[in-house]
Structure 1
Amino acid sequence: MPWSPDHYLRYGDERSRPFFDLVARIDADAPREIVDLGCGPGNLTRTLAERWPQAQVLGIDSSPEMVAAAEAARSEGGRNDASRSETSTARRLSFACADLRSWAAEPGEVDVLLSNATLQWVPEHRELLPALAGKVRPSGWLAVQVPGNHGAPSHALCRELAAEEPFVRFTAGVDYRPTADPADYFADLQGLGLTVDAWETTYLHVLHGQDAVFDWVSATGARPYLEAVPDELRDDFVAAYKRRLAVAYPERDGVVLLPFRRVFVVAHRSM
Protein backbone atom coordinates (compact mmCIF):
# COMPACT_ATOMS: atom_id res chain seq x y z
CA MET A 1 0.00 0.00 0.00
CA PRO A 2 1.86 3.12 -1.16
CA TRP A 3 1.54 6.30 0.89
CA SER A 4 -1.23 8.58 -0.35
CA PRO A 5 -0.44 12.29 0.00
CA ASP A 6 -4.09 13.17 -0.67
CA HIS A 7 -5.32 10.81 2.06
CA TYR A 8 -2.73 12.09 4.52
CA LEU A 9 -3.68 15.70 3.83
CA ARG A 10 -7.39 15.06 4.34
CA TYR A 11 -6.94 16.22 7.93
CA GLY A 12 -4.14 18.64 7.11
CA ASP A 13 -5.18 21.32 9.59
CA GLU A 14 -5.36 18.87 12.49
CA ARG A 15 -2.09 17.17 11.58
CA SER A 16 -0.27 20.50 11.21
CA ARG A 17 -1.07 21.84 14.69
CA PRO A 18 1.62 19.78 16.48
CA PHE A 19 4.16 20.81 13.83
CA PHE A 20 3.63 24.51 14.49
CA ASP A 21 3.64 23.99 18.25
CA LEU A 22 6.98 22.20 17.89
CA VAL A 23 8.53 24.83 15.61
CA ALA A 24 7.40 27.63 17.93
CA ARG A 25 9.83 26.37 20.57
CA ILE A 26 12.87 26.44 18.27
CA ASP A 27 14.69 29.63 19.19
CA ALA A 28 16.98 29.80 16.17
CA ASP A 29 17.72 33.31 14.89
CA ALA A 30 19.20 32.83 11.42
CA PRO A 31 19.85 29.17 10.62
CA ARG A 32 21.57 28.39 7.34
CA GLU A 33 20.81 24.69 6.95
CA ILE A 34 17.50 23.13 7.98
CA VAL A 35 16.50 19.48 7.49
CA ASP A 36 12.99 18.07 7.86
CA LEU A 37 13.19 14.30 8.37
CA GLY A 38 9.93 12.70 7.28
CA CYS A 39 8.71 15.69 5.31
CA GLY A 40 5.70 13.94 3.79
CA PRO A 41 4.09 16.00 1.01
CA GLY A 42 6.25 19.02 1.87
CA ASN A 43 3.48 21.46 2.75
CA LEU A 44 4.87 22.04 6.24
CA THR A 45 8.50 21.94 5.12
CA ARG A 46 7.79 25.00 2.98
CA THR A 47 6.75 26.95 6.08
CA LEU A 48 10.25 26.44 7.50
CA ALA A 49 11.72 28.25 4.49
CA GLU A 50 9.17 31.01 4.95
CA ARG A 51 9.97 31.43 8.63
CA TRP A 52 13.76 31.50 8.11
CA PRO A 53 14.23 33.35 4.78
CA GLN A 54 18.02 32.88 4.58
CA ALA A 55 18.00 29.11 5.13
CA GLN A 56 18.38 26.25 2.71
CA VAL A 57 15.72 23.69 3.62
CA LEU A 58 15.93 20.00 2.75
CA GLY A 59 12.97 17.66 3.17
CA ILE A 60 13.65 13.92 3.36
CA ASP A 61 11.08 11.13 3.17
CA SER A 62 11.27 7.41 2.47
CA SER A 63 8.07 7.45 0.38
CA PRO A 64 8.55 8.17 -3.34
CA GLU A 65 4.90 9.20 -3.54
CA MET A 66 5.34 11.80 -0.80
CA VAL A 67 8.54 13.18 -2.30
CA ALA A 68 6.92 13.41 -5.73
CA ALA A 69 4.03 15.38 -4.22
CA ALA A 70 6.49 17.66 -2.41
CA GLU A 71 8.47 18.31 -5.58
CA ALA A 72 5.29 19.06 -7.54
CA ALA A 73 4.20 21.56 -4.89
CA ARG A 74 7.67 23.14 -4.87
CA SER A 75 7.58 23.56 -8.65
CA GLU A 76 4.16 25.16 -8.44
CA GLY A 77 5.43 27.44 -5.70
CA GLY A 78 8.43 28.30 -7.84
CA ARG A 79 6.15 29.55 -10.60
CA ASN A 80 4.39 31.75 -8.04
CA ASP A 81 7.79 33.00 -6.83
CA ALA A 82 9.14 33.63 -10.32
CA SER A 83 8.97 37.41 -10.06
CA ARG A 84 10.76 37.50 -6.73
CA SER A 85 14.44 37.54 -5.83
CA GLU A 86 16.95 34.70 -5.95
CA THR A 87 16.14 33.98 -2.30
CA SER A 88 12.54 33.00 -3.11
CA THR A 89 11.09 30.20 -1.02
CA ALA A 90 10.99 27.58 -3.79
CA ARG A 91 14.65 28.16 -4.69
CA ARG A 92 15.68 27.38 -1.12
CA LEU A 93 13.64 24.18 -0.90
CA SER A 94 14.76 20.73 -1.99
CA PHE A 95 13.50 17.20 -1.39
CA ALA A 96 15.08 13.76 -1.43
CA CYS A 97 13.88 10.19 -1.04
CA ALA A 98 15.93 8.48 1.67
CA ASP A 99 15.71 6.38 4.82
CA LEU A 100 16.44 8.58 7.82
CA ARG A 101 18.37 5.72 9.41
CA SER A 102 20.99 5.96 6.67
CA TRP A 103 20.76 9.67 6.00
CA ALA A 104 24.29 10.73 5.11
CA ALA A 105 24.66 14.27 6.45
CA GLU A 106 28.06 14.99 7.92
CA PRO A 107 28.32 15.46 11.70
CA GLY A 108 27.74 19.04 12.79
CA GLU A 109 26.27 20.08 9.45
CA VAL A 110 22.71 21.18 10.32
CA ASP A 111 21.47 24.23 12.22
CA VAL A 112 17.91 22.94 12.72
CA LEU A 113 17.08 19.24 12.46
CA LEU A 114 13.36 18.58 12.75
CA SER A 115 11.32 15.40 12.66
CA ASN A 116 7.55 15.70 12.98
CA ALA A 117 5.42 12.54 13.39
CA THR A 118 8.03 10.31 11.75
CA LEU A 119 10.38 8.68 14.26
CA GLN A 120 7.56 6.49 15.60
CA TRP A 121 7.91 4.44 12.40
CA VAL A 122 11.46 3.47 13.40
CA PRO A 123 11.33 0.94 16.26
CA GLU A 124 14.90 1.75 17.31
CA HIS A 125 14.46 5.52 17.05
CA ARG A 126 15.71 6.23 20.58
CA GLU A 127 18.95 4.48 19.68
CA LEU A 128 19.21 6.83 16.70
CA LEU A 129 19.01 10.00 18.79
CA PRO A 130 22.78 10.25 19.44
CA ALA A 131 23.48 10.07 15.69
CA LEU A 132 20.77 12.62 14.91
CA ALA A 133 21.97 14.96 17.64
CA GLY A 134 25.48 14.60 16.24
CA LYS A 135 24.33 16.11 12.93
CA VAL A 136 23.51 19.38 14.71
CA ARG A 137 26.03 22.23 14.77
CA PRO A 138 27.05 24.02 17.98
CA SER A 139 24.20 26.42 18.80
CA GLY A 140 21.90 24.24 16.68
CA TRP A 141 18.55 22.65 17.44
CA LEU A 142 17.02 19.18 17.33
CA ALA A 143 13.21 19.11 17.45
CA VAL A 144 11.07 15.96 17.50
CA GLN A 145 7.35 15.24 17.78
CA VAL A 146 5.90 11.73 17.94
CA PRO A 147 2.36 10.46 18.58
CA GLY A 148 1.85 9.23 22.12
CA ASN A 149 -1.58 7.70 21.69
CA HIS A 150 -0.60 4.03 21.39
CA GLY A 151 -2.87 3.21 24.34
CA ALA A 152 -5.91 4.97 22.85
CA PRO A 153 -8.81 2.92 21.45
CA SER A 154 -7.94 4.03 17.91
CA HIS A 155 -4.75 1.99 18.12
CA ALA A 156 -5.51 -0.60 20.79
CA LEU A 157 -8.59 -1.85 18.92
CA CYS A 158 -6.54 -2.34 15.78
CA ARG A 159 -3.96 -4.42 17.64
CA GLU A 160 -6.67 -6.48 19.36
CA LEU A 161 -8.39 -7.25 16.06
CA ALA A 162 -5.09 -8.09 14.40
CA ALA A 163 -4.41 -10.65 17.16
CA GLU A 164 -7.60 -12.56 16.34
CA GLU A 165 -8.29 -15.22 13.74
CA PRO A 166 -8.18 -15.24 10.80
CA PHE A 167 -5.91 -12.18 10.78
CA VAL A 168 -3.25 -13.09 13.32
CA ARG A 169 -1.39 -15.47 11.02
CA PHE A 170 -0.66 -12.50 8.76
CA THR A 171 -0.22 -9.70 11.31
CA ALA A 172 1.91 -11.53 13.89
CA GLY A 173 5.06 -10.16 12.29
CA VAL A 174 4.04 -6.50 12.48
CA ASP A 175 6.71 -4.77 14.57
CA TYR A 176 4.83 -2.58 17.02
CA ARG A 177 6.64 -0.61 19.71
CA PRO A 178 5.10 2.34 21.51
CA THR A 179 6.84 5.68 21.64
CA ALA A 180 8.33 6.83 24.93
CA ASP A 181 7.21 9.49 27.39
CA PRO A 182 8.59 13.05 27.50
CA ALA A 183 10.79 12.26 30.50
CA ASP A 184 12.45 9.41 28.59
CA TYR A 185 13.38 11.61 25.65
CA PHE A 186 14.49 14.31 28.06
CA ALA A 187 16.91 11.88 29.70
CA ASP A 188 18.14 10.56 26.35
CA LEU A 189 19.10 13.99 25.05
CA GLN A 190 20.22 15.57 28.30
CA GLY A 191 22.64 12.67 28.59
CA LEU A 192 24.17 13.84 25.30
CA GLY A 193 24.91 17.25 26.78
CA LEU A 194 21.99 19.12 25.22
CA THR A 195 19.62 21.53 26.92
CA VAL A 196 16.22 19.92 26.63
CA ASP A 197 12.59 21.03 26.71
CA ALA A 198 10.10 18.12 26.66
CA TRP A 199 6.34 18.10 27.05
CA GLU A 200 3.10 16.49 25.92
CA THR A 201 -0.20 17.80 24.61
CA THR A 202 -3.51 16.04 24.04
CA TYR A 203 -5.44 17.63 21.19
CA LEU A 204 -9.18 17.17 20.92
CA HIS A 205 -9.77 16.87 17.19
CA VAL A 206 -13.30 17.48 15.97
CA LEU A 207 -13.96 15.13 13.06
CA HIS A 208 -17.04 14.62 10.92
CA GLY A 209 -18.63 11.50 9.50
CA GLN A 210 -19.38 7.98 10.67
CA ASP A 211 -15.97 6.51 9.82
CA ALA A 212 -13.90 9.62 10.50
CA VAL A 213 -11.57 7.97 13.01
CA PHE A 214 -10.90 5.07 10.66
CA ASP A 215 -10.24 7.54 7.88
CA TRP A 216 -7.70 9.29 10.12
CA VAL A 217 -5.88 6.24 11.46
CA SER A 218 -5.87 4.26 8.21
CA ALA A 219 -3.58 6.92 6.74
CA THR A 220 -1.07 6.53 9.58
CA GLY A 221 -1.10 4.25 12.64
CA ALA A 222 -3.19 1.39 11.23
CA ARG A 223 -1.26 1.18 7.96
CA PRO A 224 1.14 -1.63 8.99
CA TYR A 225 -1.78 -3.89 9.91
CA LEU A 226 -3.81 -3.01 6.82
CA GLU A 227 -0.74 -3.76 4.71
CA ALA A 228 -0.17 -7.12 6.43
CA VAL A 229 -3.73 -8.42 5.93
CA PRO A 230 -4.06 -10.02 2.47
CA ASP A 231 -6.44 -8.57 -0.11
CA GLU A 232 -9.03 -11.30 0.34
CA LEU A 233 -9.37 -10.55 4.09
CA ARG A 234 -8.85 -6.79 4.13
CA ASP A 235 -12.51 -5.88 3.65
CA ASP A 236 -13.47 -8.08 6.62
CA PHE A 237 -10.72 -6.53 8.74
CA VAL A 238 -11.77 -3.00 7.82
CA ALA A 239 -15.46 -3.67 8.48
CA ALA A 240 -14.77 -5.17 11.92
CA TYR A 241 -12.36 -2.36 12.79
CA LYS A 242 -14.90 0.30 11.79
CA ARG A 243 -17.58 -1.32 13.97
CA ARG A 244 -15.31 -1.24 17.01
CA LEU A 245 -14.22 2.32 16.38
CA ALA A 246 -17.85 3.43 16.06
CA VAL A 247 -18.50 2.16 19.59
CA ALA A 248 -15.34 3.76 21.03
CA TYR A 249 -15.85 7.06 19.17
CA PRO A 250 -19.60 7.56 18.74
CA GLU A 251 -20.88 10.15 16.32
CA ARG A 252 -23.13 12.74 17.90
CA ASP A 253 -24.89 15.34 15.77
CA GLY A 254 -22.44 14.70 12.95
CA VAL A 255 -19.37 15.19 15.15
CA VAL A 256 -16.78 12.67 16.31
CA LEU A 257 -14.27 13.67 18.99
CA LEU A 258 -10.77 12.20 18.75
CA PRO A 259 -8.42 12.89 21.68
CA PHE A 260 -4.86 12.61 20.36
CA ARG A 261 -1.80 12.74 22.60
CA ARG A 262 1.50 14.03 21.20
CA VAL A 263 4.98 14.01 22.71
CA PHE A 264 7.43 16.84 21.99
CA VAL A 265 11.11 17.38 22.62
CA VAL A 266 13.27 20.35 21.60
CA ALA A 267 16.99 20.18 22.35
CA HIS A 268 19.64 22.89 21.98
CA ARG A 269 23.36 22.27 21.54
CA SER A 270 25.43 24.96 23.20
CA MET A 271 28.58 26.45 21.68
Structure 2
Amino acid sequence: MEHWDAAQYLKFKQQRTRPAIDLAARIPLEHPEKIADIGCGPGNSTAVLKQRFPGAKIVGADSSADMIAAAEQAHPEMQFIQCDAQTELEKLGQDYDVVFSNACLQWIPDHPVMIPKMLQMLRPGGVLAVQIPVNYEEPIHKIISRLIQSPQWKGYFHRPQAMYHLTPATYYDLLSESAAEFHMWQTTYFHHMPSHAAILEWYRGTGLRPYLEVLPPEKQDAFSEAVLREVQRAYPLQKDGSLIFRFPRLFFLAFAKEQ
Protein backbone atom coordinates (compact mmCIF):
# COMPACT_ATOMS: atom_id res chain seq x y z
CA MET A 1 0.00 0.00 0.00
CA GLU A 2 1.49 3.31 -1.08
CA HIS A 3 1.48 5.98 1.60
CA TRP A 4 0.91 9.65 0.93
CA ASP A 5 1.92 12.28 3.46
CA ALA A 6 -0.44 15.25 3.24
CA ALA A 7 1.78 17.46 5.41
CA GLN A 8 4.79 16.84 3.16
CA TYR A 9 2.72 17.50 0.06
CA LEU A 10 1.39 20.79 1.44
CA LYS A 11 4.85 22.22 2.12
CA PHE A 12 4.57 23.67 -1.38
CA LYS A 13 0.80 24.22 -1.44
CA GLN A 14 0.89 27.49 -3.36
CA GLN A 15 3.06 26.13 -6.18
CA ARG A 16 1.16 22.83 -6.39
CA THR A 17 -2.21 24.61 -6.50
CA ARG A 18 -1.33 27.07 -9.28
CA PRO A 19 -1.89 24.54 -12.13
CA ALA A 20 -5.31 23.62 -10.65
CA ILE A 21 -6.27 27.30 -10.67
CA ASP A 22 -5.12 27.65 -14.27
CA LEU A 23 -6.99 24.52 -15.37
CA ALA A 24 -10.22 25.45 -13.60
CA ALA A 25 -10.11 28.91 -15.19
CA ARG A 26 -10.18 27.33 -18.65
CA ILE A 27 -13.35 25.26 -18.06
CA PRO A 28 -15.90 26.97 -20.33
CA LEU A 29 -19.12 26.04 -18.48
CA GLU A 30 -21.03 28.82 -16.74
CA HIS A 31 -22.96 26.95 -14.05
CA PRO A 32 -22.03 23.27 -13.74
CA GLU A 33 -24.17 21.50 -11.17
CA LYS A 34 -22.10 18.41 -10.39
CA ILE A 35 -18.29 18.11 -10.30
CA ALA A 36 -15.89 15.28 -9.39
CA ASP A 37 -12.31 16.05 -8.37
CA ILE A 38 -10.35 12.84 -8.95
CA GLY A 39 -7.07 12.69 -7.07
CA CYS A 40 -8.11 15.58 -4.83
CA GLY A 41 -5.19 15.14 -2.43
CA PRO A 42 -5.59 17.29 0.70
CA GLY A 43 -8.46 19.23 -0.88
CA ASN A 44 -6.53 22.19 -2.28
CA SER A 45 -7.75 21.53 -5.84
CA THR A 46 -11.32 20.88 -4.60
CA ALA A 47 -11.27 24.27 -2.87
CA VAL A 48 -10.22 25.84 -6.20
CA LEU A 49 -13.26 24.29 -7.88
CA LYS A 50 -15.56 25.49 -5.09
CA GLN A 51 -14.30 29.04 -5.55
CA ARG A 52 -14.60 28.84 -9.33
CA PHE A 53 -18.09 27.26 -9.26
CA PRO A 54 -19.67 28.19 -5.90
CA GLY A 55 -23.10 26.78 -6.75
CA ALA A 56 -21.93 23.31 -7.80
CA LYS A 57 -22.13 20.08 -5.84
CA ILE A 58 -18.50 18.92 -5.67
CA VAL A 59 -17.06 15.64 -4.45
CA GLY A 60 -13.34 15.09 -3.97
CA ALA A 61 -11.93 11.56 -4.32
CA ASP A 62 -8.51 10.18 -3.49
CA SER A 63 -7.02 6.73 -2.84
CA SER A 64 -5.06 7.93 0.22
CA ALA A 65 -6.72 7.85 3.65
CA ASP A 66 -4.19 10.44 4.87
CA MET A 67 -5.07 12.82 2.05
CA ILE A 68 -8.82 12.40 2.61
CA ALA A 69 -8.44 13.02 6.35
CA ALA A 70 -6.45 16.20 5.64
CA ALA A 71 -9.05 17.35 3.09
CA GLU A 72 -11.93 16.77 5.50
CA GLN A 73 -10.15 18.63 8.27
CA ALA A 74 -9.29 21.60 6.06
CA HIS A 75 -12.64 21.75 4.25
CA PRO A 76 -15.38 20.23 6.48
CA GLU A 77 -18.06 21.90 4.35
CA MET A 78 -17.18 19.74 1.32
CA GLN A 79 -17.64 16.04 0.53
CA PHE A 80 -14.68 13.70 0.18
CA ILE A 81 -14.59 9.98 -0.62
CA GLN A 82 -11.70 7.53 -0.40
CA CYS A 83 -11.65 5.91 -3.83
CA ASP A 84 -8.96 4.22 -5.92
CA ALA A 85 -9.59 5.71 -9.35
CA GLN A 86 -7.88 2.81 -11.10
CA THR A 87 -10.27 0.16 -9.70
CA GLU A 88 -13.20 1.95 -8.01
CA LEU A 89 -14.22 4.77 -10.31
CA GLU A 90 -17.80 3.50 -10.37
CA LYS A 91 -18.13 4.50 -6.68
CA LEU A 92 -18.37 8.10 -7.82
CA GLY A 93 -21.35 7.53 -10.14
CA GLN A 94 -22.06 9.38 -13.36
CA ASP A 95 -23.90 12.41 -14.79
CA TYR A 96 -21.18 14.91 -13.94
CA ASP A 97 -20.87 18.24 -15.70
CA VAL A 98 -17.15 18.35 -14.92
CA VAL A 99 -14.65 15.63 -14.09
CA PHE A 100 -11.46 17.30 -12.89
CA SER A 101 -8.08 15.69 -12.31
CA ASN A 102 -5.02 17.73 -11.35
CA ALA A 103 -1.66 15.89 -11.17
CA CYS A 104 -3.20 12.47 -10.53
CA LEU A 105 -3.14 10.39 -13.70
CA GLN A 106 0.65 10.04 -13.71
CA TRP A 107 0.23 7.61 -10.78
CA ILE A 108 -2.27 5.42 -12.68
CA PRO A 109 -1.29 3.05 -15.52
CA ASP A 110 -3.22 2.37 -18.71
CA HIS A 111 -4.39 5.83 -19.69
CA PRO A 112 -6.07 4.50 -22.88
CA VAL A 113 -8.51 2.76 -20.51
CA MET A 114 -8.69 5.43 -17.77
CA ILE A 115 -9.46 8.45 -19.93
CA PRO A 116 -12.47 6.92 -21.74
CA LYS A 117 -13.78 5.72 -18.36
CA MET A 118 -13.53 9.25 -17.00
CA LEU A 119 -15.32 10.63 -20.07
CA GLN A 120 -18.11 8.11 -19.47
CA MET A 121 -18.77 9.73 -16.08
CA LEU A 122 -19.91 12.90 -17.86
CA ARG A 123 -23.27 14.04 -19.11
CA PRO A 124 -23.35 14.78 -22.85
CA GLY A 125 -21.41 17.98 -23.36
CA GLY A 126 -19.69 17.67 -19.99
CA VAL A 127 -16.00 18.47 -19.63
CA LEU A 128 -13.05 16.32 -18.58
CA ALA A 129 -10.33 18.68 -17.32
CA VAL A 130 -6.90 17.12 -16.77
CA GLN A 131 -3.40 18.26 -15.86
CA ILE A 132 -0.49 15.81 -15.97
CA PRO A 133 3.13 16.61 -15.07
CA VAL A 134 5.44 15.96 -18.02
CA ASN A 135 8.77 16.64 -16.36
CA TYR A 136 10.51 13.45 -17.49
CA GLU A 137 13.11 15.49 -19.40
CA GLU A 138 13.90 17.70 -16.39
CA PRO A 139 17.09 17.19 -14.33
CA ILE A 140 15.35 15.93 -11.17
CA HIS A 141 13.58 13.14 -13.04
CA LYS A 142 16.70 12.12 -14.94
CA ILE A 143 18.72 12.10 -11.71
CA ILE A 144 16.34 9.66 -10.02
CA SER A 145 16.11 7.47 -13.12
CA ARG A 146 19.89 7.29 -13.37
CA LEU A 147 20.39 6.52 -9.67
CA ILE A 148 17.85 3.69 -9.50
CA GLN A 149 19.64 1.99 -12.40
CA SER A 150 23.11 2.44 -10.90
CA PRO A 151 24.98 -0.59 -9.48
CA GLN A 152 24.61 0.72 -5.92
CA TRP A 153 20.82 1.00 -6.03
CA LYS A 154 19.28 -1.05 -8.84
CA GLY A 155 18.89 -4.15 -6.67
CA TYR A 156 16.30 -2.36 -4.55
CA PHE A 157 14.06 -1.31 -7.43
CA HIS A 158 12.29 -4.23 -9.08
CA ARG A 159 9.58 -2.00 -10.58
CA PRO A 160 11.49 1.02 -11.82
CA GLN A 161 8.51 2.76 -13.43
CA ALA A 162 6.63 4.68 -10.74
CA MET A 163 4.89 7.24 -12.96
CA TYR A 164 2.95 6.82 -16.18
CA HIS A 165 2.77 9.17 -19.16
CA LEU A 166 1.86 9.01 -22.81
CA THR A 167 3.35 11.32 -25.38
CA PRO A 168 1.31 14.41 -26.30
CA ALA A 169 0.77 12.88 -29.75
CA THR A 170 -0.65 9.71 -28.17
CA TYR A 171 -2.98 11.72 -25.92
CA TYR A 172 -4.06 13.60 -29.04
CA ASP A 173 -4.98 10.37 -30.84
CA LEU A 174 -6.72 8.98 -27.76
CA LEU A 175 -8.82 12.10 -27.26
CA SER A 176 -9.67 12.38 -30.95
CA GLU A 177 -11.20 8.89 -30.69
CA SER A 178 -12.90 9.29 -27.29
CA ALA A 179 -14.11 12.90 -27.09
CA ALA A 180 -16.47 15.04 -29.13
CA GLU A 181 -13.96 17.91 -29.02
CA PHE A 182 -10.78 18.63 -27.09
CA HIS A 183 -8.11 21.22 -26.46
CA MET A 184 -4.52 20.54 -25.35
CA TRP A 185 -1.76 22.83 -24.18
CA GLN A 186 1.45 22.73 -22.19
CA THR A 187 2.77 25.19 -19.61
CA THR A 188 6.21 25.23 -18.02
CA TYR A 189 6.17 26.71 -14.51
CA PHE A 190 9.35 28.37 -13.24
CA HIS A 191 9.13 27.84 -9.50
CA HIS A 192 11.33 29.90 -7.22
CA MET A 193 13.19 27.68 -4.75
CA PRO A 194 15.31 29.00 -1.88
CA SER A 195 17.78 26.10 -1.92
CA HIS A 196 18.67 22.74 -3.43
CA ALA A 197 17.30 21.12 -0.26
CA ALA A 198 13.92 22.70 -1.05
CA ILE A 199 13.82 20.91 -4.41
CA LEU A 200 14.47 17.64 -2.61
CA GLU A 201 11.69 18.42 -0.12
CA TRP A 202 9.29 19.13 -3.00
CA TYR A 203 10.08 15.78 -4.57
CA ARG A 204 9.82 13.92 -1.25
CA GLY A 205 6.11 14.73 -1.39
CA THR A 206 5.60 13.32 -4.89
CA GLY A 207 8.14 11.90 -7.34
CA LEU A 208 10.69 10.63 -4.81
CA ARG A 209 8.06 9.10 -2.51
CA PRO A 210 7.52 5.74 -4.31
CA TYR A 211 11.28 5.11 -4.44
CA LEU A 212 11.88 5.88 -0.78
CA GLU A 213 8.99 3.60 0.18
CA VAL A 214 10.60 0.49 -1.28
CA LEU A 215 13.98 1.12 0.34
CA PRO A 216 14.84 -0.24 3.80
CA PRO A 217 14.55 2.59 6.36
CA GLU A 218 18.30 2.58 6.94
CA LYS A 219 18.92 3.26 3.22
CA GLN A 220 16.43 6.08 2.68
CA ASP A 221 18.65 8.90 3.95
CA ALA A 222 21.60 7.71 1.85
CA PHE A 223 19.45 7.64 -1.28
CA SER A 224 18.05 11.11 -0.52
CA GLU A 225 21.59 12.42 -0.02
CA ALA A 226 22.67 10.91 -3.34
CA VAL A 227 19.77 12.67 -5.07
CA LEU A 228 20.63 15.95 -3.33
CA ARG A 229 24.26 15.81 -4.46
CA GLU A 230 23.15 15.41 -8.08
CA VAL A 231 20.53 18.17 -7.69
CA GLN A 232 23.26 20.53 -6.45
CA ARG A 233 25.21 19.88 -9.65
CA ALA A 234 22.23 20.10 -11.99
CA TYR A 235 20.49 23.27 -10.78
CA PRO A 236 22.65 26.44 -10.88
CA LEU A 237 22.15 29.25 -8.40
CA GLN A 238 20.68 32.56 -9.55
CA LYS A 239 22.32 35.88 -8.67
CA ASP A 240 20.25 36.17 -5.49
CA GLY A 241 21.23 32.66 -4.32
CA SER A 242 17.89 31.03 -5.16
CA LEU A 243 17.07 28.49 -7.89
CA ILE A 244 14.67 28.05 -10.77
CA PHE A 245 12.80 24.74 -10.61
CA ARG A 246 11.29 24.18 -14.05
CA PHE A 247 8.12 22.09 -14.11
CA PRO A 248 6.37 21.36 -17.45
CA ARG A 249 2.74 20.28 -17.28
CA LEU A 250 0.34 19.05 -19.98
CA PHE A 251 -3.32 20.15 -19.87
CA PHE A 252 -6.38 19.11 -21.80
CA LEU A 253 -10.11 19.77 -21.84
CA ALA A 254 -12.18 17.01 -23.47
CA PHE A 255 -15.91 17.20 -24.09
CA ALA A 256 -18.18 14.16 -23.78
CA LYS A 257 -19.93 12.90 -26.87
CA GLU A 258 -23.69 13.03 -27.20
CA GLN A 259 -25.26 9.74 -26.21
Pick aligned residue for 2:222 from 228, 232, 236: 236
| Partner residue, 2:255 | 268
* Residue 42 (structure 1) aligns with: 43
Q: Deviations over 1:243-264 (max 9, x none)?
A: 0011001334330111111000
2: distance between equivalents of 1:250 and 1:215? 17
Residue 190 of structure 2 corresponds to residue 204 of structure 1:
yes
**Which residue in 1 is equivalent to 2:17?**
16
Alignment correspondent of 1:191 = 177
Shift of 1:107: 6.7
Paired residues for 1:111-190 under 5 Å:
111-176=97-162, 178-190=164-176
Aligned to 2:85: 100
Q: Does 1:259 align with 2:246?
A: yes
Instruction: Tell me how many residue pairs correspond in the alignment.
Output: 255
SS at match of 1:150: coil
Partners in 2 of 1:29 and 1:241 — Cα distance?
Answer: 45
Paired with 1:208 and 1:193, the residues of 2 have a C-alpha distance of: 42
How far is the alpha carbon of 1:237 from its aligned partner?
0.9
Question: What secondary structure sits across from 2:54 in the alignment?
Answer: coil
What is the aligned-residue RMSD (CA, Å)?
1.7
Q: Superposed, which structure 2 residues align to 1:56-67 within 5 Å? A: 56-67=57-68
**Distance in structure 1 (CA, Å) of the matches to 2:3 and 2:114:** 25
* Alpha-carbon separation, structure 2, partners of 1:15 and 1:245: 20
**Cα distance in 2 for residues equivalent to 1:236 and 1:117:** 28
**TM (normalized to structure 1)?**
0.88
**Is the Cα–Cα contact under 8 Å of residues 138 and 269 in structure 1 kept in the other structure?**
yes
Match of 2:26 in 1: 25
TM-score by length of 2: 0.92
C-alpha distance in 2 between matches for 1:204 and 1:193: 31
Q: Give ranges in structure 2 of 5+ residues lacking alignment.
A: none
Structure 2 CA distance for partners of 1:217 and 1:167, relative to 1, 3 Å: same
CA change 1:210–1:156 in 2 (3 A) is closer
Structure 1 runs, 4 residues or longer, greater than 6 Å off: none
Tell me the alpha carbon deviations over residues 54-98 of structure 1, each in whole angstroms, 9 at most, x when there is no partner.
Answer: 2110000011111000001122xxxxxxxxxxxxxx2xx200111
Are 1:142 and 1:266, in contact at CA under 8 Å, matched by a contact in 2? Answer: yes
CA deviation map 1:135-161 (0-9, x unaligned):
110121001100001121101111111
Q: For residues 147 and 193 of structure 1, do their structure 2 counterparts lie closer, same or farther at Cα, with a shift above 3 Å needed?
A: closer
Distance 1:54 1:168 in 2: 51
CA–CA distance in 2 between the matches of 1:150 and 1:106? 31
Q: Equivalent residue for 1:79?
A: none
Map 1:80-99 to 2 at 5 A.
90=77, 93-99=78-84
The CA deviation at 1:173 is: 1.9
Alpha-carbon spacing, 1:181–1:199, altered in 2? closer, same or farther (3 Å): farther
Tell me the distance in 2 between the aligned counterparts of 1:158 and 1:127.
28
> In structure 2, what residue type is equivalent to 1:164?
S
- Deviation, structure 1 residue 18: 1.1
Identify the residue that residue 83 of structure 1 maps to in structure 2: none
Structure 1 unaligned regions, length at least 5? 76-89
Note the alpha carbon deviations across 1:89-115, whole angstroms, 9 max, x for none.
Answer: x2xx20011101221157741110000
Alpha-carbon distance change, 153 to 254 in structure 1, aligned in 2, over 3 angstroms: same
